[in-house]
Structures are given as structure tokens and as C-alpha cells.
Amino acid sequence: MRVWLRLGWREIVRSPRFTTLFVLNLALGLAGFLLITAFGGSLGRHLDDNLREMLGADLVLRSSRPLTADEQAMGRTLAGPGAVQAEQLSFYSMVRGPRLARLARVVAVDAAHPLYGRLAYAGDAVHDQVIATLQRERTVLLTREAARALAVEAGETLTIGRADYRVAFFLERDPAAEFSAIDLAPKLFLGLPQVRESGLIRFGSRVSYQTLIRLPANTDAATVAARLEKALAAAAGGETPVRVATTAEVNRRLGQVVGFFAEFLGLASMVSLFLAGLAAGHLFREQLRARRRETAILLSLGARRAAALGLHTGVLAVLGLAAALLAILFAWLLLPLFAFLFRGLLPAGLHLGIGPMDAALVVVVGVSGSFLFCLPVSLRLAAVQPLHLLQQTAEAPPAQTAALRLLPLLGLLPALGLLFLLASRLGGSLFSGAVFTGGLVVLLGTLFLFARLLLAGCRLLAVRVGLTLRIVLRNLYRNRLAAASLFTALAAALLLVALIPQAERGLQAEVSRPEGMELPDLFLVDIQPEQQQPLADFFAGGGPRLSDPAPMVRGRIVRINGVPFADWRQQHVDSEERVFRRTEFNFSSRAQLDASETVVRGRPLSSEPWTGEGVFEISMEQQFSRRLGVAIGDRMVFDIQGIELEGEVVNLRRVRWNSFQPNFFLLFQRGVLDEAPRTYLASVSRVKAADKVELTRRLSAAFPNLSVIDVSQVVEQLGAIAGRLAGALRFMAGLAMVTGLVAVFAIARQEALRRERELNLLRVLGASVGRVRLLTMLEFGLVGAAAGLSAVLLSYAASYAVAWLLFDRLWRFDWPAALLLCAGATLVCAGTALFAADSVLRRRPVALLG
């Protein structure tokens, strides 16, 4: 045993360049993977530990109308003795301070608040005193950040609706704060008895009524929730507007917000890991000749074949372990950067760290990955015969059968299997893992075949050009495998680098400037019918322009094609679709479509108003129809204020939601909603930036019930979030680029060593060092240029397809960026190859001919 350990140790230390490069390369690939794993793990742990505090309860009953006494009693009974309840309601409203008016989220709480967690107050304020004061007086409690957003200080008043509230207390820590930057309206707390004074709890107001329940210890929340849902549904005769939420559901929802993006980042890190593995295989291949000889010597001396091969496996395992440990160090150093990139998107108090399971996983991946990615080379070692020592050449005879020739390719399958498992874990499902792995194989296979085509072209071109280029093209063609591998690795890395800025640009452009449309500056909600004319008068006289107010009526979907909605949902709708969990929807009608809408299938709605006879016509948004499983010709029955009405879907619309115009999933034929109670939505455009604050304040004073959403601020915040997310993506792409470059280095060096006799002969025959360097640079530079061009074309094709599918064809070809990428790829590839081959090029020709 000792002899094997000694041999293994000597293998590692005698090749410091190989060992360092191998470990460093693999560590970079693993670091990206670990960053995402640690990020997801930290988020998961934080949510698990803090969910009750964030939710404020074990269970929450939510409805858009006040819970009835029976419903509340049901909650108390099923929660069991010892359960504690608290009541709460929340809504969005304009809030006017001494300096500005702004949309805020108002949360009215009762004396039992909070059921979990402790609120921390600024100054000497004591919890019982604060809560009692809120119930007793018209006071508000808010964080300092919210106060800054509302430009209000302690002791000043905020006007909410028609009542004034004094800013009495400041909150240092709100455990229920979910994601600090995504919540676009500052939050403030009132006492529940005081909220009615505002006059904002009225018909048409979108208020969320909540009953929070703290269950007795050791009670299973999921079981109680299920019983409650059943009881509420039974009491309502089938469909209840009351939803029951548990911490598990909230966990899933919160996780989805960042989790989706983390999954995407994770898959990007997989590309980096794959490229690192590819480079590792090439680096190990450089050692193949020496290792083959040594294996043959050991076999000739009487070593068992399993032991001789185990030596190399052990060395790879040790290198993989070293890489994993280094990756843990890298990730630990880079995690704060990640936290910075995602700031504002993460729950307050989240600490990003590497858990023991994350570290253990990376060690397993490092050790196994090191072996698996080098397997195609290791298989060649397995075929070594000591007989070869008696032959004049150190090379093994060529493979005799097709099976043997395929062996290196088949040797890649276990590595792909590892990638599949990791991608499935990161993507959250076997399906996403299969899609990623399959997609990667297809992409790499396509690039490889494309490279072979290009190289075949080199052969044809070689006869037509001068000596230098002829040598270069001939080298490329005759070393097709190495050149194609180089091209594939580089193009894959460049593709990621090229895609991300395009995606970011497309997203930014789409959000801030929907093509052909004027983005409004303000969006008005909760306009009462009697306010239409006064509002029109308010905006009369030039300056800011008010759009035609769009009516909004709330109602329920009762049946689709005769099937009760609850049953239809179970049969046709994905259980993850949140929008269909609610029972109430918003409907509207209009004389003609807005500029942001286009009928894509079916016929336009009739211009004649519905007479009340027969079924009326419905226009449905196309994504909504797909998710609901409804098609043209389907019949739907609605309940609007207790009256059932039946309509038929006659067309599907595409809606540009990013236009921020009043748009709806369901539009009815004119005349259907004329008698229904309604509110209105409208947008305001052409507001000068300098006038916005004053305009908002005046609007709020004139129409206290109105909610005014600053669209440009929303766009700016979305843009900022998109920018930050793109930053994280760019980081991952950068990692992929680095690992791609290591692959370039490894292949270039391998080629230089393999062809050192040829290079030496050129010099012996009179070629200067400069000329030989030029040949090297041209050869690899051409590959780099081809890879860069391919990556640019592929990335633009992909981003065009995405823009066409998702962003209504908003797409531009960025010439400067494309040229920069191609030029950069050429120079970097040529430079790296020159650096890799330098030690061979600098040797004296005589030494090499020995």
C-alpha cells in the first residue's frame, strides 16, 4: 500500500504545472455550482427558520370581503383549544404627507398583533403601549425607511383617505417584511378600529381581510388547513372566496420569486462546470503518454492491472478533492459579492453561507467529476499492455474495432450523467435536468459538427493560399479532433457571454419602451363612477393627458362548458397556477381595443351592445386562455353581483402588459356590464418629471380614494432589478468564459507538445521563432474567430426567437457588440495559445531533436 501512496504522491508533485492548472480549473467550475447551491440552501434555511414570523401566523384565512361570524367560528373550532386569532386588513391607498403624496400599503391590526415574532421599536416605545395607542388613537407606526419614502417625520400627520393620522412610532424591525425592494409601496400600520375613519373601506376598494391563527403546540398546520378548506367550501356550497394559507405555501411562493432565477443561474453554472470538466479531460490527456508508459512499466514489473489503474484513479480523486476544497474557499470569498448583487431582492436578515451539506456535495462532485471527466482518457490507460514497452513507438496501436474507436465517446456518458443529476437538482425536477443536459448535448454536438464542416473547408482552401496560411489550414484540418474540441468549448462559453447582455438589453428596452407605444407616467385605480367627469375636468386644459377610463367589474366564474369552475380547475389547470386559486376576477368592456391589444385568433367583438338575449361575446387574453384551458367557442357562466350571465369566447387577444395601460384578461361585449357596480382605471401620460410630485399631491387631495401608481418609478425599479439579475448572470458567464479559456490553454499546450518535433523541424529548416509564433497565433486565432462568429450568430438567433415569442419581436442587432466579441475571441484565443506553446517554442532546436 505504501508504494502506491508514494507513487501517487510523486505523480502529483512531479507535475506542478499540470496539478495547479487541473485543480484551479476544476475549482472555478465547482465554485460557480457551489455559489448557487449555497445561495439556494441559505434561502431555504432562512425561510424555514423565519416563516412563522414572516407570515405572522401558522395559518391565514384571506378574503376580499370580511369573514362572516360563521367562518371565524369555524376557524376557532378547527384550530383547536388554545389557538389564538388576530384580525387584520390591508389595502393600497394614496397617503398624503406634508411634502408629498404617495401610494402606500396600509395594514390595520388589532390588539393581538403580532402572533409570532417581536416588533422592535425605536426609542423607548414599549410594545403593549404602541399597540394599545394604535387601537385607541389615529396614529401610525412605520419604519424609518417608509417614513423617508413618504417624506414624513415623527409627530407629523399623514392623510389617509379623509382622516389624518399622526406619525407616533417607528419600527426598527418588521419580521413580516418579505422582500424589501420588491414591495413598491411603503408599509404603515394603523389600529383596526381606526381604519374606518379613513373612509376607504367601501365598495370597490380592494381590501384583503385576514384572520391570522396561531395553533396550539404540536398541531399540524397542513391538517388543520385541509380541514378548514373543506369546511369552508361545504359551508359555501362548493366554492368559497376564503383562501387558507399555511407557511408551506408562503415558503413555496417566496422561494419561487428568487428560486426561478436561481435555477437559471444554476444551469448557467452547469455550463461552467461542464467546460471545466472538458478542460480537465484535455489537461489529463496531456499526461497520457507518460502515464501509459508508467502503467506499462508497472505491469511489466508485476503490478496488478487493477492496482496500476487504481493509482491514476486515486490521483484524480485527490486532485478532485483539492479542487473541491479550493472551490469552497472561492465560494466563501465570493458569497458577499452575491449578496451584493441580489441586495433588495432577498428577505431581510438573510445570511448567505455554505452549509455542511453544500460543502459535502461539492466534495462528492469534485472527486467524482474529476474521475468521470477524465474517464475517456482513463479508458485508454486501461487498454495499455506492457508489450508496448518492447515496441519502438510509445504510442498504442490504433483501435482495431468500431467499438474501441467509440470507447472515448462512450466514456463521456457517465460525466453527462453526473451533469444530468446536478442539473435536475438545481432545476428542481428531472425534466429540467433532462432538458438542460439534452440541450447541452445538442448544442455541443451541433457546434462540433459545424466545426468539422469548417475544417473540411480548410482542406479545400489550403491549396489556394500562400505557404504560411497553407501550413495553418493544413494543421487545422489534420488535427481535426483537437481543433473541433477547441472550437466547441470556446463557442459554448462565448455563447453564454454573448446571450446575457442581449437578454438584459431586450428586457430593459421592453420594460421601458414598448414598441410603438407611449408609456404612461401614472396609473389611476379605484376611480368611482361619479368621479369620471371631475377627473376629466381636473386634467382638462392641456399638459398631462388622461386616457379614457376603463370600467372594472368584479365577479366570479361559475361554470365553463357546463362544468363547475372548481372541477374545471382541477381538470385543466396546473396546480401551481396561483391566479386561478382565487374565485373573483375583473371584467371590463370597451368600444374598441386599446393600442396595446391585438386580436390574434377569432373575430372582433360585435360593435352592437348585447341585448340580454342569448349568450354574449367574450374576448380572452391568449396566455390566460392557454392556462385556463379555454378555447374559442367555449361557453362560460359568470356570477356578477348574484346574477348569472353566460357568454361565449369569440376571440383571443395578445396584450402588451408592459404598456401599463388598463388591460384585462376578459373583455365582454358592450352592454353586458352596463348595470353592474364598477370602478374605473385610467392612465396619465405626458407628465413632466418636475411636476409629478405636485400633480400627485393635488390628485390625492382632490380624490382621496384614488390610488396613484408612479409607473416610471415602477419601470425604474424593475429596470434596476433586471440590471442586478443580469449582473449575477454576467458573473456566471464570466466564470464560464474563464473555464473555457482554460480549455483553450489545455488544448493548445497539448497540441504544441504533440507537434514539438514538427515545430522544431520548421526551425531547423530556417523558420524564425517569430514565424513559428505567427503560425501558432494564426491557427488558434482562426479557431477563435470562427467560434466567436458562431457564438454571435447563435446568440442573436436565440435572442431573436425569445424576443419574437415573449417580447413581441422587439429586437435589434448590435453590430459593435458583435464585432467586439469576435475580435476579443480571436485575440484571446491566439494569445492564450501562444502562452501555452511558449515553453516549447523557446527550446533550442537541437535539444528537441535528441
Partner 1 sequence: MSAPPDREETVLVQVDNLGKSYAQPDGEPLVVLAGAALSLAAGETLAITGQSGSGKSTLMALLAGLDRPDSGRILVAGRDLVGMAEAELTRFRAGHIGIVFQQFHLMPHLSAEENVSLPLELLGRPSPPEGIDALLDRVGLAARRRHLPGQLSGGECQRVAIARALAVAPDLLLADEPTGNLDVATGRSVADLLFHLAERERMTMIVVTHNEALADRCTRRLRLERGLLL
> Under a CB-based contact definition with an 8 Å cutoff, are residues 47 and 255 in contact?
yes
- For the bound state, the minimum distance from the C-beta of residue 425 to partner 1, rounded and expressed in Å, comes to 39
Report the residue number, 384 or 818, with the smaller CB distance to partner 1: 384
- What are the two backbone dihedrals, phi and then psi, of residue 200, each rounded to the nearest 5 degrees? -95, -10
Report the residue number, 296 or 630, with the smaller CB distance to partner 1: 296
Assess 11 for contact with partner 1 (CB under 8 A): yes
Q: How far apart are CA 20 and CA 13, in angstroms?
A: 10
- For the bound state, the minimum distance from the C-beta of residue 762 to partner 1, rounded and expressed in Å, comes to 27
Q: How far apart are CA 454 and CA 480, in angstroms?
A: 10
Question: Cβ neighbours of residue 488 under 8 Å, at least 6 residues apart?
Answer: 444, 447, 448, 451
- For the bound state, the minimum distance from the C-beta of residue 407 to partner 1, rounded and expressed in Å, comes to 19
Report the residue number, 20 or 391, with the smaller CB distance to partner 1: 391
In this structure, is the dihedral angle defined by the CA atoms of residues 562, 565, 566 and 570, taken in order, positive or negative?
positive
- For the bound state, the minimum distance from the C-beta of residue 318 to partner 1, rounded and expressed in Å, comes to 16
Q: How far apart are CA 618 and CA 597, in angstroms?
A: 14
One-letter identity of residue 641: Q
Using CB under 8 A, which residues numbered 339 to 398 contact partner 1? 385-387, 389-391
Assess 849 for contact with partner 1 (CB under 8 A): no
- For the bound state, the minimum distance from the C-beta of residue 847 to partner 1, rounded and expressed in Å, comes to 13
Report the residue number, 15 or 598, with the smaller CB distance to partner 1: 15
Give the number of other Cβ atoms within 10 Å of residue 6's Cβ. 10
Report the residue number, 295 or 679, with the smaller CB distance to partner 1: 295
Report the residue number, 397 or 417, with the smaller CB distance to partner 1: 397
The pairing of strands 84-96 and 243-246 is: unpaired
Assess 297 for contact with partner 1 (CB under 8 A): yes
Place of cell 382605471: 681
Assess 408 for contact with partner 1 (CB under 8 A): no
Q: How far apart are CA 13 and CA 7, in angstroms?
A: 10
> Under a CB-based contact definition with an 8 Å cutoff, are residues 550 and 739 in contact?
no
Assess 177 for contact with partner 1 (CB under 8 A): no
Transcribe 206-234 into DSSP letters.
--EEEEEEEPPTT--HHHHHHHHHHHHHH
Assess 223 for contact with partner 1 (CB under 8 A): no
Using CB under 8 A, which residues numbered 243 to 272 contact partner 1? none
Report the residue number, 58 or 294, with the smaller CB distance to partner 1: 294
- For the bound state, the minimum distance from the C-beta of residue 798 to partner 1, rounded and expressed in Å, comes to 46
Q: Would residue 838 be called left, alpha or beta, if left means φ above 0 and alpha means ψ between -120 and 50 degrees?
A: alpha
Binding mask 12-41 for partner 1 (x = CB under 8 A): --x---------------------------
- For the bound state, the minimum distance from the C-beta of residue 258 to partner 1, rounded and expressed in Å, comes to 50
Report the residue number, 16 or 614, with the smaller CB distance to partner 1: 16
Using CB under 8 A, which residues numbered 450 to 479 contact partner 1? none
Name which position in 181, 290, 519, 722 contacts partner 1 (CB under 8 A).
290
Q: How far apart are CA 566 and CA 389, in angstroms?
A: 77
- For the bound state, the minimum distance from the C-beta of residue 753 to partner 1, rounded and expressed in Å, comes to 16
Using CB under 8 A, which residues numbered 299 to 318 contact partner 1? 299-305
Query: Three cell numbers at 120?
Result: 422592535
Report the residue number, 313 or 385, with the smaller CB distance to partner 1: 385
Assess 403 for contact with partner 1 (CB under 8 A): no
Nearest to 97 by CA among 703, 709, 701, 702: 701
- What are the two backbone dihedrals, phi and then psi, of residue 211, each rounded to the nearest 5 degrees? -115, 120
Query: With CB under 8 A, what is the number of residues at the site for partner 1?
Result: 26
Assess 294 for contact with partner 1 (CB under 8 A): yes
Give the number of other Cβ atoms within 10 Å of residue 304's Cβ. 10
Nearest to 501 by CA among 717, 275, 800, 799: 799
Report the residue number, 12 or 632, with the smaller CB distance to partner 1: 12
611 burial level (CB within 10 Å; 0-12, 13-18, 19+): exposed
- For the bound state, the minimum distance from the C-beta of residue 319 to partner 1, rounded and expressed in Å, comes to 16
Name which position in 5, 10, 196, 202 contacts partner 1 (CB under 8 A).
10
Query: Three cell numbers at 12?
Result: 502529483
Stretches 288-296, 355-363, 573-581, 767-775: which one binds partner 1 (CB under 8 A)?
288-296
User: What is the distance between the terminal CA atoms of the chain, rounded to a whole angstrom?
Assistant: 37
Report the residue number, 289 or 505, with the smaller CB distance to partner 1: 289
Using CB under 8 A, which residues numbered 733 to 772 contact partner 1? none
- For the bound state, the minimum distance from the C-beta of residue 1 to partner 1, rounded and expressed in Å, comes to 10
Burial 753-784 (b: 16+ CB within 10 A, else e): ebbbeebbebbeeebeeeebbbbbbbbbbbbb
Report the residue number, 299 or 744, with the smaller CB distance to partner 1: 299
Place of cell 439556494: 40
Assess 839 for contact with partner 1 (CB under 8 A): no
Query: Contact positions toward partner 1, by CB under 8 A?
Result: 2-3, 6-7, 10-11, 14, 290, 293-294, 296-305, 385-387, 389-391
